[in-house]
A and B are shown apart, each in its own frame.
Chain A
Amino acid sequence: GQNIDQPTEMTATEGAIVQINCTYQTSGFNGLFWYQQHAGEAPTFLSYNVLDGLEEKGRFSSFLSRSKGYSYLLLKELQMKDSASYLCAAAGFQKLVFGTGTRLLVSP
């Protein structure tokens, strides 16, 4: 079976750091995506991890541990515009399996 878990909702304040965790169990795992999605819009690509380790891209970093079936997205220096849903998706053969998404609310 395939299962992706991430927290439903998180809150943080502007300027802070937040870590969104994702655990997964999938067959034929090829990599782990993170997407940002604002309400009513399409998902926007943030990161794609295939190998274990941390990948940093500006204020956003993503980590993967294949042996533990675990990933996290780290957002630094939070801004109000970072309020959105963050989707974790495991890539299998011919499909992405999405988690339910984490709604992040950034307050002043």
Chain B
Amino acid sequence: DTEVTQTPKHLVMGMTNKKSLKCEQHMGHRAMYWYKQKAKKPPELMFVYSYEKLSINESVPSRFSPECPNSSLLNLHLHALQPEDSALYLCASSLNPTGDGYTFGSGTRLTVV
């Protein structure tokens, strides 16, 4: 298995909803990442988990809450989002924190209404 799997592929949520994005990999990668990408912009790093511990939070608002239940799973919990949070959310993983084998998932297209 050489993939990073993200679910759902598309999500529409209201500003009062609570939802979660899920990311899974079975490559034995020990670093996992969340990125946010707006149209015509490069991906922006949000969070990094290294060996299941949160190691980087790029000053992301608390309405985004990451969770790493085990070495294969990474979740992003969403609550009280704003319309400007609508974007493509990308998960990635790498063998180790230095970036070997960096692999992106196919993303979740999030629309906040």
Residue ranges of A at the interface with B (Cβ–Cβ < 8 Å): 30-31, 33, 35, 40-45, 48, 87, 89, 91-96, 98-101
**Complex Cα gap A94–B102 (Å):** 11
Instruction: Report whether A94 and B106 are in contact in the complex, using a CB–CB cutoff of 8 Å.
Output: no
A10 to B43, CA, bound (A): 20
21 A–B contact pairs at CB < 8 A? A30-B98, A31-B99, A33-B99, A33-B102, A42-B88, A42-B90, A42-B104, A42-B106, A42-B107, A45-B104, A89-B42, A91-B99, A92-B99, A93-B98, A94-B31, A94-B55, A95-B56, A96-B92, A96-B99, A98-B42, A101-B41
By a CB distance below 8 angstroms, the chain A residues around B33 are: 95
Bound complex: CA of A67 vs CA of B47, how far in Å?
A: 30
Extra inter-chain contacts (17) besides given A40-B88, A91-B102, A100-B42, CB under 8 Å: A31-B99, A33-B102, A42-B106, A42-B107, A43-B104, A45-B102, A45-B103, A45-B104, A48-B102, A89-B42, A91-B99, A94-B55, A94-B97, A95-B56, A96-B99, A98-B42, A101-B41
Chain A interface mostly: strand
A96 to B106, CA, bound (A): 17
Bound Cα distance from A98 to B56, whole angstroms:
16
Shortest A38–chain B CB gap in Å is 12
Shortest B73–chain A CB gap in Å is 19
A30→B97 CA distance, assembly (Å): 10
Are A95 and B102 closer than 8 Å at their CB atoms? no
Q: B50 contacts which of A31, A94, A98, A101 (Cβ < 8 Å)?
A: A94
Residues of B close to A91: CB separation below 8 A = 98-99, 102
Residues of B within 8 A of A87 (CB): 42-43
Q: Are B42 and A30 in contact, with the CB atoms below 8 A?
A: no
- With a CB–CB cut-off of 8 A, which chain A residues contact B105? 42
Query: Least Cβ distance of B23 to chain A in Å?
Result: 12
Distance between A30 CB and nearest chain B CB, rounded to angstroms: 5
